[in-house]
Each structure stands twice: as C-alpha cells, then as structure tokens.
Amino acid sequence: MIKQVTEETLENGKRYWKSLDDLACKPSFKNWVEREFPEGASMLEGVQRRGFMKLMAASFGLAGLGMTGCRRPEHTILPYGKSPEELIPGVPNYYATSMPSAQGHTPLIVESHEGRPTKIEGNPSYIPNGGGTSIYAQASVLDLYDPDRSKSSLKRSNENEDSWDVISSDQVKEDLVNLMKEGKVAILAEKSSSTARKALSELLIEKGVIWTEHEAIDLTSPEYKLGNAIGTDSGLRLIPNLGKASRVLSLDCDFLGNREPFSLANTRALMKGRKVLSAKDAKKMNRLYSVESDLTITGGVADHRLRLESSQFIAFTNLLAAEIFTIRKSGSKAEITRLQERGNVLKTHAKWIRECAVDLCSKHKSSVILPGGHLPAEVHLLCYAINQALGCIGRTVQYQVTDKPASNLLSLQEAIGKDNVKTLIFLGGNPVHNASSLDWGNLSDKISNKIHLGDSVNETTSICDYHIGQSHYLESWDEGETWDGTGIVPVQPLLAPLFETMADLELLQLLLGSSQNTHDFVKSLQEKRSSTDSYEDFLRLGVEKQMPTYYSKEIPLSELSKYKEQIPKPPTLDSLEVLLIPDFHAWDGRYANNGWMQECPDPISKLTWDNALLISPALAKTLEEKYPSLGLIPEPTMLNKNGEIAPDAANFDHGKQKAPIVTLSISENQTIEGPLYVQPGLADCSIIATLGLGRTEVGRVGNGTGYNAYPLLGNNFDRIVSNVSIEPTGEFETLANVQEHWSMEGRAIVREGNAEEYISDEAFASHMGAESHSPKIWGKDQEADLKFKAQTTPRGNSSYEHPDHNYEKSETPGLHQWGMAIDLNQCTGCSACVVACQSENNIPIVGKDQVLRGREMHWIRLDRYFSSTARDGAELPSDVQVSFQGVACMHCETAPCETVCPVNATVHDEEGLNAMAYNRCVGTRYCANNCPYKVRRFNFFDWNKRQTDELYKGPLGKKNDPLPDMGKNPDVTVRMRGVMEKCTYCVQRIQESKIQVKVKAQRNALLSTGKDGADIELSNEDIKVPDGTIKTACQQVCPSDSISFGDLSDPESEVSKLKNNPRDYSVLGYLNTRPRTTFLAKVRNPNHSMPDFASSPHAAREYHDKAHPTHHEEGDHDNHAKEGEKH
Amino acid sequence: MRNLFPRWVNTIPVKVILSLGIIGGTVTAGITYYATPKYTRVGYQPTQPVSYDHSFHAGQLGLDCRYCHHGVDKSSHANIPSANVCMSCHKNIKADSPLLAPIRDSYFGEDENKDGKLSEGEDLNDDGILNEGPSVPWVRIHKAPDYVYFNHAIHVNRGVSCVECHGRIDQMEVVHHDKPLSMAFCLECHRNPEKSLRPMNEVTNLAWSIASKEEEDSHITQFHAGLDIKNKWGVNPPLSCTGCHR
C-alpha cells in the first residue's frame, strides 16, 4: 500500500521540471525525453522520397560529366604589394575599440585576421567588466557582415514612388552641404554616449540646427526622473557598486539582465560576492531579494523573490520606506504613518517587506536598493531616501551627476508644427517604428527633405526620400564614455568601410562644413583632454580614466510628501497590466536582423526566433475557463476514443508549441496581436510583452519574426500600461521553443543547497545522485589525485579494461590533461557563452523551421530548470526557483560516443580531449544516440552553404551570400552536411597556445646558449602551458567567471583546485563516463525569517523526495505518509 | 536434354572469379598508385607569373629562406613575400628587367613617378591614399586540405628542416611539389621524429646532413643525434586527431 502512495505522491508532487508538460508528466513529454533527437529531426521532410532519388541521380550524372575532380584546381596566393607593418599572415592582430550601445560604450578587444574582424572580446583594462562582454557585443560582429546592411546611399527616384536610385558618396556630400546652406535643419538622433558626437552636436546647435534625441527604451530616463524629483537640473544616474554589497533588493530591476544598463559590471560584482569556496565564504555570501512582475534572470539568482505587478511598486516602496525609516529611526512618526497609508494596498505582503527591511538594516551600510528604470519618479526618489537612510550612498551605490537631457521628440514636433524644419535628418535609430504613437505621416508632409542615416533600410527609411548607409562601429572613428563615466574609450576601426557608407560623425562634420576627417577630430579631442598620454597610448590601452562627479546631498524626508496622486489600483484578472520590456533577441529592434541573436534562446522562456505574450499560470487558468479551446494548460494525461494515450495536440506537438494568438487592447487604436505563452513566476495580473520583434522593414533574418508591441507604447513612453483587455483571435501559432529539447529527466542533474547546509556539510552535493549509492566509480583509486585519474584512467569497478591513451611509441601520456569546472553558483543565465561559442567556432544558424525540428547547432546550451514549493497536483505553481546549467561536450574519460563510432571519427587524444575528426565522419549519428548528455549536433544540411529556406532543394538550392564568410574563424573547420560536431574545448586555442609556448621556450633557450641549439635542454615545465593562458571562448566571455578551464595534471591550476572543492560533482556520474567537465553545486542564501523561507532549495527537496520516496519528512508528504499508515 | 550447356560452361565460374580478381587487383593497385598524393601531387610544377629562380637566390646567392618567408618561424603560414621584399634588392639590381614587371607594378601601383609620394594624377580611385598595385598571382604549389591545420612555426623552431617537406628547393630552378604531404607522410615523421630532427641553426640549411664517422651509416648517426635532441627538447609530436584537425 505504501508503494501505491509513493506513486501518487510522485504523480502529484513533482516539483522539478523544465516545462509545464514535463510537470504534468504528459505522455508527449515522456516520449520526448526518450528520444535523442526530437521527433522529426531525423526524418527527411518536405521532399518526397521519389523526388529525392531523382535529384540525387541527376546530380551524380552531372558530377560524372565534368570530370572536374581529376585535375587539381589552380590556386593563387596574393601577397601585398607593400606589406603593412605588424602584419604576419596567419597571426591575428588585436585592437582595442568599443561598442556604442544604449548602455554606454562597451570596451572591447577585437581579433582581426588579415584585416577581417572575426571575434570580439571584452577589454580587461576596464576593470568593472573584467574582460567580459555582453551577448549583444558578441553578436555585433555579425552585423558587420550582414548581407542586408546598407551598401550605398539611396535616393527616392520619384516622389511617392517606391523605387530608389543608388547615389555616390560625393553626391551625398554635395547634397548635405547644400541642404545645410538652405537652413532650417533638424536632427533626430538616437541616444549615444559618444563624447565626440556631443562635441559636434554642440557646434551644430550653435549654428542653429535643432538637435533632438529619442530612444524608445531610454535607459537614461530614470536619472532624469530622479534629478527632477530631487530638483537638480542634471540627471542623477544610479551606479551600483555591488562588490561591496551584502544585501541587495531589486525593485523590478533586472540589473543582471538586458533590461537595465551596466549589467555586465553588476553581474561581475554581485556574483563575486556569491562565490563560495569554503564555509567561510558562505558566511559572507551576499543575499539578493527581488520583487518583480516578470521572471528575469535577476529573479533567477535571487534568494527571495516576490511576484508583484509593476504598477504596484509605488505602494510597495512606500511600505518598504516606512519599515526602513522605522528601524533606522529616521523620519517623523507622521511621515512614516503617511508612507504606510500610501502603501496600504499591499498589506498582504507586510511580513515579507518587514523581514526584508530588517535584514537590509542589519547590514545597513552594505545594503542597496535598486529601482527598475521603468518605475515612476516617486519610486526613484523613495529609493534614494531609503539608500540615504541605510547610509549606503557612496559605498554600495553612487549617484553620478550627468548632463542635462537633450531635447526630445516633443520639441521636434513643436518645431515642425511651427514650420521651423525644412530638412530633418534621422541620425541612426528607427523612430518611425518605435515611436509609432506619433503621426509620422502628418509630420513628414510638413518637411520637404527627410534624410535617414541608418545601418540598413528600415521603417524610418520608408517615410524618407534619402537614405545614407551608416558605417558599422568596426569601420569608424569615435570615442565615448562608459556607462559609469569612469572611462573614456576609443572607437577604433579595424577595417575601412566595406561599402560606400558614412559614419554619423562624418555626416555631422559635413553639416558643419569641416574638412577635418573623423580620425583627426577624435584625436584632437583626446589631445585636448590629456597632455601626458599620446593618442596611440589611448588606442593601445583602450581606456582612459576620468573621475565623474557624484551627488550625495541629503534630501529631507518631507520631500517625499509631495506625491499625493492616487496610487494605481491593483490590476485584476479582468483589467490587466502590460509591462513592455526590450526583447532578448532584438533589444529595441536594432538586432532584429542578427541571426545569432534570433537563434539564441531567451534565457527564461527558451523561445527562439519569436517573442510571446507571457502570462502567469493564474491568468492562464482564468482564460482557460473563459475560453476552453485555448489549450494553455496541459492536462496530466489524455486518452483518445480507443483508450490509448494521445498527446495533447492542442498545446504541444513534437516540441512545436501551438500558442493561441490573442489581441491586447487599451483603446481602439492601440492594439497588438501576439501568441500567449504561460510562464511560471510571473505576477498574476501582469502580461509581459517584448518590444523589438515584428518589424516590417527588415532584412531576410528578421523578417516575419515575432509580433510588434510598439503600438502599446504611448506618447509618454511609459512602459507600464494598465487597463488592458485580452481577447483570443481563435488562431494559433507555432513557437520555436527549445525548452524541451535535450532534456535529461529529473535526476540530480542540478544540485543545490542552502548556505547553512553548505556550512554544516561542504560536500552536500556528493550525497546526491545515484552515484552516492553505487559502488565507488574509481574503486580503490577513488581517493587518488586528479592527475593520476586523468593520466592513467583507473579501471575502477569496471570489468573491462579502459583504453590507454598513451599513443604508440610516445612515452608520455600528454603533457597536459584538460578539464573544465563550471560553477553553477556563478551562472546567471545571461547566455553570452552561447553566442561567443557560435562566433569562435563557426557555428551556423539553422532558422526557425529547423529549430522546430530540433536541429539547432549550438555547442553549448543553457538548460533552465524550474523548481517549486509543495503544491496541489492540479495547480500550476507560480512561485518558482530557477537554476541554469550550461551543458557542452563533457569530454568523458570513458566516452560512450567513442565506442560506437564505426569509423573512429571520434576518439580520445592523449590530453584527454574527445576529438572529433570531421573528415572521417560518415554521419551514422550513433555517437549522438549514445551520448547521455545530448551534446552532439548533426549537420542535417549544409547550413553554411545554403540559405535556410532553400535547404530542401539540396544542391539546387540557392547559396548563402558569401559576405558572412568573412567573419568566420580561419582556425576552425567550417563543417559540411552529414558531419557530426560538438564542443572541442576550443582545441584551436589549446593548440595555438601549446605551439606558442614551445616556440618561445625554444627561442629563449637558443638565445641564452648562443650555440647551434642541439645541446639546449628543455624541461617539461618549460614547454607546459602556464595556467590561465588558455581561455575557452565561453570562459572568456563570462562576466562572472563561472567557467574555468585548465590542466588537471597540475594540482595548482585553478581548475584542479575547483575540482577538488567538495561542491564539485559530475552530472550523471553513476554512468561511469567520468566527464572532464564537472559542476560545482549551487548555493542559495535564504533568510530564515522570511515567510517564503525553505530549509533547502526546492530543487534539492524534489530530488530527495524522489530518491527517498519512503521517507516522508516534510511538506504535504507527511499527510500522504500518515494516510498510508492508516491503510 | 542431357547436354543443355556445353562443357566449357563449367569453367565460367573459375574464369569469372579469376577475372574479377584481376580487375579488382588492377583497380586497387591503380588507385593506390595513381590516386594517392604520391602520384597526384608530387611533381606538380606550375608556371609562376615571375620566373623566380630558387636555385639561384637560395642556392648560389645563399639567401636564407627566412629572408623572404619571414613569417615561417612565427606563424602557421610560411608567407609568400610581398613585393616590397623583392624590391628591397631589385630597386637597385636589375631595376628595369622586364621579367620583374609584375613585381614593380604591384609595388609601385599608383605611384607612377616612383617618388613614394602622392603626386598629380596618381590617385586613381580618389581615396587620398597612394595605393599599391595588383598582387602578383603566385600559383600555390603546396596545399594542405582545409581541414588540416599545419603550423610552420612549431616545426621550424623544433628542429624540422624545410627540406623534410619541400625537398631541395635550393636546387630547383622552378619549384615543384617534392614530397607527397599525405597524412601517411606526416604520421611517418610524427611517429619517428628522430629521423628528421636537427640543430635549430641548421633548419634552413637545406644541404645539411649530419657529419658521421666514417665507419658508421649516416642514418644511424642521425638517428642517435635526433633521439638526443628529442629527449633534450621534449619533442613529442601529436599522433592524435586534434594535433592537426580542428
């Protein structure tokens, strides 16, 4: 009887899952996880078998005719006429530059192969980022080689007609000068932190040009909200210094993700404070509280998370302020009572707020509160007051004084209304698309010349009669400030413009009538600033320090009483609120044509090539009751008429998610249509819509992806929209969701513990998983050191002898033994590693259609797991904990893939790498079938060669544009159809470093002896690669250093130390695959007194409940157990 | 109905088997001989745009390989020299030779009066830069397949001479492909590096061979000297796929 109860518990109490279907134990999901590739992935679809045979026969016939294979094609080698200095063919050069973005200039080091930029890395000279880069910076190199970018300037050949003439850059220059002479010029620019552009804009304003700036998602807006509220002219920009923080509260502020600026530095600083290598560190570990409406990656890291609709943050902050002022004894009683009254609506969360406030005040000088940029001014002012009361201003947070805001769209509208504008120049950006609340048609009628400078033809071009192609930042000179104002960084071109394009500075120089080129101009700015460092030094280091001014005046708490307007009513399930956030893939739309960004799954929803309207499970339930045909909530099991188990076709079919399309509307004019997607962790009455996709005038990649949410954005660009109604259209759309691809079932794959558990038992992770019950994997050698295990592959309990990787006649088993350790505690899920790997290893994109078939090619995938508290079986949980795990090839010591390859295409090398010889592979896919980690990727098509929509035409399909090939890494093979591939531990970087070390050692030795070199002696130490020299692409990009890579045979290497840490464990260790990549268990740091405290993470409890189903110790299992006893 | 088939039919199976064997053998032998790099590559000797004579420059004049192929000990590629390397001598020597016209065109480019400055009428594409001329289209002789990442620097610096893969270039008037450069060829040396290792200073000396005592076979002397170098330098060439395939 007990057994029966156990099964029932399992059925209802599963608390650790990857998707709602998994949670519901749907047969379709079970079917799914049992397969290596998603169903359909290995089937030939779209072409009839007969048609295929015909095609093949024809192509064989043609191949025979030419006999081209008999003669070697003649290749020529084309050397320079005059070789440039510092260029040795085959040796890449590195240049410091920076990427202009809405969140300041990001300092970069860019790798260039014979003049072609191929890979972007962060510049470690800028300390806050520490060499990390954001996912957008990684992907930006692809924009340079985008075949759809503007390749020239265009002029509408006839007014009101959609045909364009190509015009030369000389003509453009002449036209611009003439227009400037005519006067009445206005410029609408996208925001920029460029100091050079600012200098030029000031000169232009002096000349009478109307200069306005616009950004739909304006990251600078909170600083002006706060500046206004405090009563200064300038902006007050909040710069967190999380390295010193021990308690952090985020108020709807995704400071680790893409919604807020400075996220790289924040990630680096915060995660450093969460690094635990010993019990001592765990005591000092910082604690993150997050209150949010969306489930962000910040919320994923948080130790305590509260779901709250965005419109309720005014009330929340008031209540929080009241608590903190009470504890800190600042503010009068009347003041506090007033704050309490204003926050009265949220009485239900009073305990959460109080305990959080107590904890913040317990470490008051190292606490910090960060408000989200979209929240109203009152919240920002309150947060300033709270931070002031905590005494943390100047320690964990700084308020940087920034310049006065530039004039905005409204003043442009006004000027146009007054007929002050004859020529309007759009300087980058896409305001026609992302400020759609304006009546652009009407406005443009009043202007005679409309010029658009842009990197590609977009929606704004459509109202213009002149389009000037804009140079990529890797083709232009500029300089700008980092977000925190502590650095000025150069923008240095790595190559001359590929096409006839113009940088924004060049255009402004033309308007000014200056003949100075942009290089000289930027140089003159630097020389004016610095007398000690030369411009060349500036370019070499890539960062120049400057000291911003900070604001730290105390504000009287009576200031807070000026907010008297009514607190917005809490949204209900009938009157919903929408929060508009920048899209993960396209941000505000600017990366919409970037294939890497489109295909990189959103960290939380795991959607690719699409955005969706995210809704909470509670809202889904209400909608489901109202409109039963939506199929939003998966049913546990479904039987068809014959009594057979049938998948729930309404919702999930072969990983193809059918999402119902709904209409959201505020008023008649403001409506959008988009697919619904149920996302646990959302505030009940919030709908999350993302801005940026659904563009109409965009290149081939971004065409037809997602829906456009900009119509909801009103005149004031307030991203919290209330009183929204929802109505299904009755249509469905398929979403390319990779969340269920490559699932590994609910074993102890991600291991988590609380800080307290960790302090009492550092090796908690090794007590989990099946291997903790099985005989020791290494047998008598279990306790041997890593070096011994890596070099000799002890037999352990296996009855088979392990292959010995000493190659014939070579006496040493490889000088190094490579291995990787991934600290799950450091990973935020930002996904930069996915794109970095794609860029380094020439990984192709496959397109939405192929992702739907489960054929995505990413070598590293970020698995996202949800786990929840105890709950009623039928209910979908809302409060979830999120865990991320990056999974790439584990380079198993006893790799299951190697034994099944019939042609030895995948074999072990003497340094422990699981090698993949592409030219040997015949594509049986046995290896992928036998890989327990599902990390092998198969080239079902010639992704690199054919356009993604022409794949099924085989050799007759159209070839890809060759332009992106310029950005390929020449050190990595471009794989073709029919070949298996997977993570190589960046073997090209390993080999290059080994060669460099040996060459250097040899030369140094030769120089020091002065003889012919036959008698020099080199020890192993001389030719070993020093620890830290080799960084894999994913490791290098990671802002939180969660990946370490190195030599296991060196006990002093960082990776060896991490692997010897008690937190270290192998995923699926009981399979005796002995992976070289191991993981360090995640440690959460919850607060005892919080109402949502759980003594161990939900994920760990779920594992224990499952692994020891008969021990019912906690939660609702007690009841079941007692019931069982009764029976 | 007894003798439906004549008697000789009995020999058919034997004949078929025999001829199949012969055909199979011939095809196998043919492929092994004609379709391997030993046959397809060795001897390839295309005509170059400039009849540069290695036997004269490297042999008689004694120019070091690295004077022109200067990236060979630093880079994976042994670069083909750019025109300015040629011109460093040929500005003065045979400065007007018609044979060197492609080199001069490539070097001077738009600089028609050869004064090194941008003068009137020289900026052909109006970019304000004095552009070089068209590259000299040297025909590639040695080519590893795209999936092979051969690195010159590591070989040259670890005592493997140019001659091991390229033959006696210093004796070739027109360069030809001398060694098969097949995977078997590579592995042969990677398995037994001692046969090819030599002191670092002799790497570009193509004529070098180890001085052996009279009574000893030079191969044996080389073997011992190479073994000595191998042990002292810790030479351990990779035999696994990752060594060359990435």
**Domains within chain A, CATH numbers bracketed:** 2-39+1087-1126 (no CATH), 93-144 (2.20.25), 153-216+407-545 (3.40.50.740), 221-402 (3.40.228.10), 576-737 (2.40.40.20), 781-1084 (3.30.70.20)
Q: Which residues of A touch B129 (CB under 8 A)?
A: none
- Output the CA angle B83-B85-B86, nearest 5 degrees: 70
Q: Around Cβ A77, how many Cβ atoms within 10 Å?
A: 16
For residue B227, give how far its alpha carbon lies from the nearest alpha carbon of chain A (Å).
11
Q: Which residues of A touch B183 (CB under 8 A)?
A: none
The pLDDT value recorded for residue A1119 is 38
Please tell me the least confidently modeled range out of A38-47, A218-227, A469-478, A1047-1056: A38-47
Biggest CA pair distance of chain B: 104
Please state, in angstroms and rounded to a whole number, the distance separating the CA atoms of residues A82 and B84: 5
Q: Which residues of A touch B200 (CB under 8 A)?
A: 1002, 1006, 1012-1014, 1016
Per-residue burial over B5-40, b = 16 or more CB atoms within 10 Å of its CB, e = otherwise: eeeeeeeeeeeeeeeeeeeeeeeeeeeeeeeeebeb
Please state, in angstroms and rounded to a whole number, the distance separating the CA atoms of residues A15 and A865: 10
Per-residue pLDDT tens over the stretch A321-335: 999 999 988 888 888
Q: And the tokens for A814?
A: 């490889």
Assess contact for B179 and B42: CB atoms under 8 A: yes
The pLDDT value recorded for residue A954 is 82
Please tell me the least confidently modeled range out of A429-443, A781-795, B10-24: A781-795
Residue of A434, A907, A442 whose CA lies nearest to A710: A434
Determine the residue of chain B that is closest to A84 in CA distance.
Answer: B82
Contact B82 A972 (CB under 8 A): no
Cβ-nearest to A810 among B140, B147, B239? B239
Please state, in angstroms and rounded to a whole number, the distance separating the CA atoms of residues A550 and A401: 5
A681: left (phi over 0), alpha (psi -120 to 50) or beta: left
Please state, in angstroms and rounded to a whole number, the distance separating the CA atoms of residues A1109 and A263: 42
Please state, in angstroms and rounded to a whole number, the distance separating the CA atoms of residues A23 and A45: 30
Distances, alpha carbon A705 to alpha carbons A352, A656, A849, in Å: 40, 16, 12
Assess contact for A843 and A856: CB atoms under 8 A: no
Per-residue pLDDT tens over the stretch A572-619: 888 899 999 999 999 999 999 999 999 999 999 889 998 999 999 889
Q: And the tokens for B139?
A: 């025909």
Please state, in angstroms and rounded to a whole number, the distance separating the CA atoms of residues B41 and A439: 70
Distances, alpha carbon A326 to alpha carbons A320, A333, A334, A395, A1096, in Å: 10, 8, 11, 22, 32
How many pairs of residues across A and B have Cβ atoms under 8 Å apart?
175
User: pLDDT class for A646, splitting at 50, 70, 90?
Assistant: very low
Q: Tell me the residues of chain B between 130 and 149 that have a Cβ less than 8 Å away from chain A.
A: 132-140, 143, 145-147, 149
Q: Tell me the residues of chain A between 878 and 917 that have a Cβ less than 8 Å away from chain B.
A: 907-911, 913, 915-917
CA A1060 to chain centre: 30
B84 touches chain A (CB under 8 A): yes
* pTM for this entry: 0.88
Assess contact for B244 and A920: CB atoms under 8 A: no
Whats the size of chain A, residue-wise?
A: 1127
Q: Which of A400-409, A436-445, A821-830, B6-15 has the highest mean pLDDT?
A: A821-830
Q: Around Cβ A45, how many Cβ atoms within 10 Å?
A: 10
Q: Which residues contact B133 (CB under 8 A, 6 or more apart)?
A: A81, B83, B105, B106, B107, B108, B109, B110
CA A731 to chain centre: 31
Residue of A668, A555, A677 whose CA lies nearest to A610: A677
Cβ-nearest to B158 among A808, A919, A998? A998
For residue A56, give how far its alpha carbon lies from the nearest alpha carbon of chain B (Å).
25
Please state, in angstroms and rounded to a whole number, the distance separating the CA atoms of residues A6 and A26: 19
Q: Which residues of A touch B70 (CB under 8 A)?
A: 88
The pLDDT value recorded for residue A648 is 43
Assess contact for A609 and A595: CB atoms under 8 A: no
Question: What mean pLDDT do residues A54-83 have?
Answer: 63
Please state, in angstroms and rounded to a whole number, the distance separating the CA atoms of residues A72 and B181: 15
Please state, in angstroms and rounded to a whole number, the distance separating the CA atoms of residues A785 and A795: 15
User: pLDDT class for A709, splitting at 50, 70, 90?
Assistant: very high
For residue A518, give how far its alpha carbon lies from the nearest alpha carbon of chain B (Å).
15
Checking if the pLDDT of A456 tops 60, the result is yes
| Interface probe with A: pick from B82, B242, B244, most Cβ of A within 10 Å | B242
Per-domain boundaries in chain B: 11-40, 58-79+140-246, 81-137
Cβ-nearest to A74 among B46, B84, B133? B46
Q: Where are the extended beta strands (E) located within A268-360?
A: 287-292, 304-307
Q: Which residues of B touch A1003 (CB under 8 A)?
A: 157
Assess contact for A201 and A186: CB atoms under 8 A: no
Reduced to 3 DSSP states, what percent helix, strand and coil does chain B have, rounded to the nearest 5?
Answer: 45, 0, 55
Per-residue pLDDT tens over the stretch B87-145: 999 989 998 899 999 999 899 888 777 777 777 777 777 777 778 888 899 999 998 88
What share of chain A has pLDDT > 90, as a percent?
49
What share of chain B has pLDDT > 90, as a percent?
52
Assess contact for A944 and A960: CB atoms under 8 A: yes
Checking if the pLDDT of A1055 tops 90, the result is yes
Q: Around Cβ A463, how many Cβ atoms within 10 Å?
A: 18
Cβ-nearest to A79 among B109, B136, B233? B136
The pLDDT value recorded for residue A575 is 86
Q: Around Cβ A657, how many Cβ atoms within 10 Å?
A: 24
Contact A81 B84 (CB under 8 A): yes
Residue A862, judged by CB atoms within 10 A of its CB (0-12, 13-18, 19+), counts as buried
Pairing of strands A671-678, A752-754: unpaired
Q: Tell me the residues of chain A between 52 and 111 that have a Cβ less than 8 Å away from chain B.
A: 72, 74-83, 88-91
Checking if the pLDDT of A236 tops 90, the result is yes
CA B180 to chain centre: 9
Q: Tell me the residues of chain A between 952 and 1011 that have a Cβ less than 8 Å away from chain B.
A: 971-974, 984, 987-988, 990-991, 995, 998-999, 1002-1003, 1006
